Amino acid sequence: MSAASSVPNRELLRHTIATLAYRGGKVIRGAPASFSSFRVNDGSRTAGQILAHMGDLLDWAASCARGAEAWRDSPPASWDADAARFFDGLRALDALIAAGAPLGCREEQLFQGPIADALTHVGQLAMMRRLAGTPIRGENYMRAEIVAGRVGAEQTAPRREFE
């Protein structure tokens, strides 16, 4: 695929990464420290393990984008440290995509693999927050101000949350 024909894919991919930052930030923010050790049942991952895995997914995505695919399983650190790692991973991946240089894989592969997996885990964390007694408020995400390149912990306030 030529660089010119991949521009729309990169724009959509960057918007998806920004969406992951917005939604991920919502489930991460305000979680009590004890939430990191919460698990649904014996044998399931803790919330902290899921967040650490999301950092691994973003590291993997960046390595694939650079053409040097590498995977690692990281043990969870503190909730705050893993949250920072999540946003650092989003920033690194977004910068690679925004640079416009040829990627080591197709944009579609980045979406269907690590990014879609991370979005799934955001949903798991949202459900776990509810089960742990610290739910996040629902929101009309179509109204959210999500902007390509805004991939840090600081996001705009929700425009339309549900009661």
Q: Per-residue pLDDT tens for 23-61?
A: 999 999 999 989 999 999 999 999 999 999 999 999 999
What pLDDT, on a 0 to 100 scale, did the predictor assign at position 6?
A: 64
What pLDDT, on a 0 to 100 scale, did the predictor assign at position 7?
A: 76
Q: Contact at 8 Å (CB) between 150 and 18?
A: yes
- Cβ-based burial of 8 (10 A; exposed 0-12, middle 13-18, buried ≥19): exposed
> Per-residue pLDDT tens for 93-148?
999 999 999 999 999 999 999 999 999 999 999 999 999 999 999 999 999 999 99
Does this model's pTM top 0.85? My answer is yes
Mapping DSSP to helix (H, G, I), strand (E, B) and coil, where does residue 125 land?
Answer: helix
Q: Which of 156, 125, 151, 105 is nearest to 54 (CA)?
A: 125
Q: Where are the domains of the chain?
A: 3-143
> Per-residue pLDDT tens for 55-83?
999 999 999 999 999 999 999 999 999 99
Going from the C-alpha of 5 to that of each of 25, 106, 109, the distances in angstroms are 31, 12, 16
Element (H, E) at 62: helix 47-66
Q: Which CATH class is domain 3-143?
A: mainly alpha
